[in-house]
Amino acid sequence: MAALRDTLVGMIKRARIEPDPVRTRLAKGLTIAIKFEGDALAVQLSRADVFPSVREWKTVIDMMPQHTIFELPKSFISKNVYYLQGKIKLSKELL
């Protein structure tokens, strides 16, 4: 799990300076995309064949640095890709 935490911290650092979403693909086809929207961090999990599970969502969010859930995840399908998308706010010290 430390590897996931390190990956997410690196993604957050990149997202601070990149205007486009920062993405990484994990095992079993799960893709994580993040992007800052004001002071909130939009988090999106996606997979081509089936919705990401709530357990996967919880695991990813739990591995994020200190945060508060800002918007619970919503599910949707677009072009045969299945998504869970929500927002968190990182603690002020991390911004």
pLDDT on residue 30: 97
HSE (side-chain half, CA atoms, 13 Å) at 80: 2
Mapped onto helix, strand or coil, the DSSP state of residue 24 is: strand
**Structure token digits, residue 17:** 């300076």
Q: What is the pTM of this model?
A: 0.90
pLDDT (tens place) for every residue of the chain, 95 residues total: 789 999 999 999 999 999 999 999 998 899 999 999 988 999 999 999 999 999 999 999 999 888 888 888 999 999 999 999 999 998 865 54
**Do residues 84 and 45 touch, judged by C-beta distance below 8 A?**
yes
